[in-house]
Amino acid sequence: MKTFSKIAAVAALTGLAACATTPPPAPPAPPPPAALSDTDATFVQTVAQINLAETALGKLAATNAGTAGVKNYAQHMVTDHTAAEDQLTTIASGHGVTLPTDPNADDQKTIKTLGAEKGATFDRAYVANAITGHTKAVKLASDEAASTTDADLKSFAQSFQKTAQAHLEAAEALKNHRGHTGVYRGHRHAHTH
């Protein structure tokens, strides 16, 4: 009986060993991400830089701005551009694109220059920079929405354009209502002078 048990055990182990040596087939590799066109790749990198710069400047305004209106506007810049960067990162990674993590040299210079200003001087420079930057961002996004064939980028560009336009209008309202604490996104509150 011992011999039979040994033979049965060896047969069972041999069967298990055979199963262990033939691994199941590997699943097929996912297709590589679709490459972006040169125009789309430039747009993605440029918007990433815009988002990084606007977020950094918005955080700077939290301590350097002289009015509550500018601080409020700046907080919206941080929130909106951080959200835009998160959306853009998802789209970019789907195409195998790595986005920058720091503002470019020109933006770092602007951040440094504005960082040296406080109060009303900071407010004027910050708002002027926001108007210039968002004017360019509106055009950039409009051009991308009209030219891209990538559905995700088209949707992102259209949304980004609307947000940049709202930021531009709010910055212009701040410029025209210095010291007014309730201005953001073009909403004006009744006040008397």
Give 71's pLDDT tier (boundaries 50, 70, 90): very high
**CATH fold of 40-176, please?**
Ferritin (1.20.1260)
DSSP assignments along 51-79, one per residue: HHHHHHHHHHHHHHBSSHHHHHHHHHHHH
Percent of the chain with pLDDT over 90: 73
Does 118 or 191 have the greater pLDDT score? 118
The residue extents of the domains of the chain are 40-176
DSSP SS3 for 173:
helix
CB–CB of 113/59 below 8 Å? no
Task: Retrieve residue 190's tokens.
Answer: 């009744």
| C-alpha to C-alpha distance for 53 and 166, rounded to whole angstroms | 18
| C-alpha to C-alpha distance for 78 and 84, rounded to whole angstroms | 10
33-55 b/e (C-beta count within 10 Å ≥ 16 → b) = eeebeeebeebbbbbbbbbbbbb
Maximal CA-CA distance, the chain = 109
Q: What is the pLDDT of residue 27?
A: 79
Query: Is the pLDDT confidence value at 180 over 90?
Result: no
Q: What is the pLDDT of residue 185?
A: 45
Q: Which residues pair with 115 in a beta bridge?
A: none
Query: Is the pLDDT confidence value at 44 over 60?
Result: yes
Q: State the pTM of this model.
A: 0.76
Burial of 86 (0-12, 13-18, 19+ CB in 10 A): exposed
Q: What's the first-to-final CA gap in the chain, in angstroms?
A: 109
Q: What is the pLDDT of residue 16?
A: 52
Query: Is the pLDDT confidence value at 13 over 80?
Result: no
Query: Is the pLDDT confidence value at 184 over 50?
Result: no
Q: What is the pLDDT of residue 24?
A: 72
CB–CB of 156/88 below 8 Å? yes
Q: What is the pLDDT of residues 161-178, one digit of tens each?
A: 999 999 999 999 999 875
